[in-house]
Amino acid sequence: MHRATRQIHGHEPPGRPVLRAALAGLAAFAVAVSGAVLLTTGSAAGADAANLLQNAGFESGTLAGWSCTAGSGTAVASPVHSGSYALRATPVGSDDAQCTQQVSVLPDSTYTLSGWVQGDYVYLGDSGTGATDTSTWSSNSAWNQLKTSFTTGAGTTSVTVYLHGWYGTGAYGADDLVLSGPGGTGSPTPTTAPPTTQPPTTPPPTTQPPTSPPPTSPPPTTPAPGGNKHLLTGYWQDFDNGATDQRISDVNPAYDIIAVAFANATTTPGQIAFSLDPTLSSKLGGYTDAQFKADIAAKHAAGKKVVLSVGGQNGTVSVSDSASAAAFASSAYALIQQYGFDGVDIDLENGVNSSYLSQALHSLASRVGSGFVLTMAPQTIDMQSTGMEYFKLALATKDILTIVNTQYYNSGSMNGCDGNVYAEGNENFLTALACIQLQGGLAPSQVGIGVPASTSAAGSGYVSPSVVDNALDCLASGSNCGSFKPPTTWPGIGGAMTWSTNWDAGNGNSIATSVGGHLHGMP
């Protein structure tokens, strides 16, 4: 979510990718996700005489029997799984497009809930069971079946069945829903709306090739930039969007790693290209390739590293097979050779394939050699569990990975490592979410805290530099913690990142001065 006015980390320039849609939950949510996810591709679900749901296949051509959040759902003639109609619902930034139906049930009884769905992050679940509420989910463009079961409590006479998507991720479809079990004897008792679920810790099966086990070799032993144990990373904007226009030479010397944003996709899958933005060059009085290369060389002389960031909010670089992996490695190496970059930053915010991208990055690292620098900037939702593709990518490249600076902003509330839900924009959010990666297999030196440089640099989640300093202390030594205190400490915590050096310059270089100074003074 690299954002800034027009360029909000979701990292997007005007005229290039623009504002990224945040996967933001505006309300706190926490649901114990249970029940297995079953994905199949069989034929239409047969009619079930014991189906307790009304209008279960939406064949009335309406939402009769269902209640959907305002304007989010409708019955459509296409796409459908079977019959003439299906549900189509569209989440937005602050609405997950939830549709519910209340059903009369019997106490102490077992029920099976199933349905056919399609789309990114589609959830099917039950609430108000009086026992353990269950839910299941998938992310699949093809129709696939979700199925779960639950048992009602001793006093339960009605439950709520629900469907929903994920904030801002596109429309989902649902069809041929079935709730089987003994029917209740009365009218359903209204219940409160079911809570929204988060992606469970174990993701649904995918059609991607299996990822090889994470390498067991230790992190690279290449000396840290400038000799600093804890690193400050900043993105440099290769475009003009209202932030302070900078040459590389203008970037505050407190930044140990400078990520040039961005490389772009070409018409060849996996291949990337880069060139200085002509508008920015003009604003800077004619910033040439030769000056840009000389500035990178000067940063090297000062002990700094400069990497080329790939992607951004709407970056379309896709590495999904061996051919595109080879194209990525070859084109990235050519740009490294051309400009003097030390490596690459992976900021792909529209999905990654951990198998093939790790293949590409290992190929690239072998060409560059021991000085190769690899950084990443996943969104918070990408690092909620080790089963998610971005997290798998980080683990699969652990042997060549310098640091992962997760974007702790533009995300809404998220689960921390203790299972509790934390709202963004405070120290607890930073520490409880960083703890997930620290417990998930990354070396402490490979975990960084990503924050916006000012309120203009992100849509939400800005915190003052002092909050970042406190979070680093909390993770490193257990001091200056908020209400969340991690179960252990990680003195070797990697550092911090900001979007962007340009926005920081316009805000008095507060990140460089405060956070950079704090990092470099930590033992």
**Among the listed residues 136, 24, 120, 118, the one whose alpha carbon sits nearest the alpha carbon of residue 389:** 120
Residue 349 catalytic?
yes
Helix, strand or coil, per DSSP, at residue 88: strand
Q: How far apart are CA 324 and CA 315, in angstroms?
A: 15
CA of 282: how far to CAs of 5, 13, 138, 236, in Å? Answer: 20, 16, 48, 17
Unique residue bearing structure tokens 């930039």: 225
CA 30 to chain CA centroid, Å, is: 18
Catalytic residue of the set 12, 349, 389, 424: 349
Q: State both tokens at 335.
A: 């740009």
Q: How far apart are CA 208 and CA 175, in angstroms?
A: 25
Alpha carbons within 13 angstroms on the beta-carbon side of residue 298 total: 13
Q: State both tokens at 116.
A: 């056919």
Angle, in degrees to the nearest 10, between helices 427-439 and 465-477? 40
Q: How far apart are CA 100 and CA 84, in angstroms?
A: 21
Contact criterion met (CB below 8 Å) for 494 and 449: no
The DSSP secondary-structure symbol of 515 reads: I
Kindly compute the dihedral angle of the four CA atoms of residues 161, 166, 172, 177, in this order, to the nearest 10 degrees: -20
Q: Are strands 343-348 and 305-312 parallel, antiparallel or unpaired?
A: parallel
Query: DSSP per residue over 302-341, as a string?
Result: TT-EEEEEEEETT------SHHHHHHHHHHHHHHHHHH--
**Among the listed residues 46, 49, 57, 59, the one whose alpha carbon sits nearest the alpha carbon of residue 177:** 57
In single-letter form, the type of residue at position 266 comes to T
Q: Please list the active-site residues.
A: 349
